[in-house]
């Protein structure tokens, strides 16, 4: 195509269509936990799905922060290829009893550091922890810190109560125990849902995709109308 005013306009419209799809998807991506429900006293595997939201940098580190006031006294992590994992234990502010034993320290942080590369733009990675016994409480907020290769740090730390008041905050993954998760909570699938690899995309991602595709369709339609008008004008001029 020659570099005419029309070709430049059509090129711009095509770029706009791509951005219309990409921007809502990036905005709707969150660090999530699957399953997001567990029974008190049980042991559970929780998989954290970490998307890369940067267009230029890779995710090179993930810190998962576990509670010290309602601790998991047994914590282990599944090795992830290309990443080095480490668990940090701390002294609890108040000892807890588990099966007749008094526990004064517990794992309160698990860190995954990329050996090389990390999570590239447009990709995601999953990290799995074994947690137990699940504390007998309403719900457990599990903040996560995501670090990028360009030095940017994203704190996924907002509680459900904070997000309800301000949905622009970065929500922390939540494990719901005695409390029922809100109907619009997208922290992950329930304990009875399909495994993480087979679970459906969060509704927020689906909504973002639908919005992006709708905008893209309008952009393409506008481009088609412009092209049709231009062609009609040329035919009339040549008549």
Could you give the CA distance from residue 53 to residue 119 in angstroms, rounded to a whole number? Answer: 10
Q: Look at residues 234, 174, 212, 180 and name the one whose alpha carbon lies nearest to residue 30.
A: 174
Q: What is the pLDDT of residue 155?
A: 98
- Tens place of pLDDT for every residue, the chain, 239 residues? 555 655 554 455 444 544 444 444 444 579 999 999 999 999 999 999 999 999 999 999 999 999 999 999 999 999 999 999 999 999 999 999 888 889 999 999 999 999 999 999 999 999 999 999 999 999 999 999 999 999 999 999 999 999 999 999 999 999 999 999 987 655 455 443 334 333 334 444 444 444 455 555 554 455 555 555 555 555 555 55
User: How much helix, strand and coil, in percent to the nearest 5, is found in the chain?
Assistant: 30, 35, 40
Per DSSP, the three-state class of 1 is: coil
Q: Look at residues 113, 110, 4, 32 and name the one whose alpha carbon lies nearest to residue 64.
A: 110
Token pair, residue 53, equals 């939201």
Q: Which domains does the chain have, with CATH numbers?
A: 31-194 (2.60.40.2230)
Per DSSP, the three-state class of 150 is: coil
pLDDT, one tens digit per residue, over 14-47 is 445 444 444 444 445 799 999 999 999 999 999 9
Q: Look at residues 14, 22, 18 and name the one whose alpha carbon lies nearest to residue 55.
A: 22
pTM score of the predicted model: 0.70
Could you give the CA distance from residue 160 to residue 175 in angstroms, rounded to a whole number? Answer: 11
Contact 186, 193 (CB under 8 A): no
Per DSSP, the three-state class of 188 is: coil
**CA 232 to each of CA 9, 10, 221, 225: distance values in angstroms, whole numbers, following the listed order:** 17, 17, 16, 11
Q: How far apart are the first and last CA of the chain?
A: 24
Q: What is the pLDDT of residue 29?
A: 75
Token pair, residue 181, equals 């998760």
Q: What is the pLDDT of residue 182?
A: 85
Token pair, residue 64, equals 């998962």
């Amino acid at each position: 195509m020659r570099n005419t005013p029309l070709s430049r306009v059509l090129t711009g419209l095509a770029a706009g269509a791509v951005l219309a799809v990409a921007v809502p998807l990036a905005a709707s991506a969150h660090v999530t936990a699957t399953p997001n429900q567990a029974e008190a006293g049980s042991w559970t595997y929780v998989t954290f799905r970490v998307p890369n939201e940067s267009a230029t940098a890779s995710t090179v580190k993930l810190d998962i922060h576990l509670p010290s006031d309602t601790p998991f006294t047994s914590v282990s992590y599944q090795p992830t290829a290309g990443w080095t994992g480490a668990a940090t234990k701390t002294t609890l502010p108040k000892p807890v009893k588990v099966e007749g034993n008094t526990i004064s320290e517990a794992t309160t942080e698990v860190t995954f550091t990329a050996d090389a590369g990390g999570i590239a733009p447009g990709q995601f990675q999953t990290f799995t922890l074994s947690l137990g016994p699940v504390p007998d409480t309403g719900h457990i907020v599990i903040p996560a810190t995501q670090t990028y290769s360009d030095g940017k740090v994203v704190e996924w730390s907002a509680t459900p109560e904070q997000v309800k008041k301000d949905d622009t905050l970065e929500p922390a993954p939540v494990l719901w125990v005695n409390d029922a998760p809100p109907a619009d909570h997208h922290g992950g699938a329930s304990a009875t849902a399909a495994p993480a690899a087979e679970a459906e995309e969060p509704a927020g991602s689906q909504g973002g995709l639908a919005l992006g595709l709708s905008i893209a369709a309008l952009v393409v339609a506008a481009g088609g109308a412009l092209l049709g008008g231009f062609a009609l004008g040329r035919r009339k001029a040549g008549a």
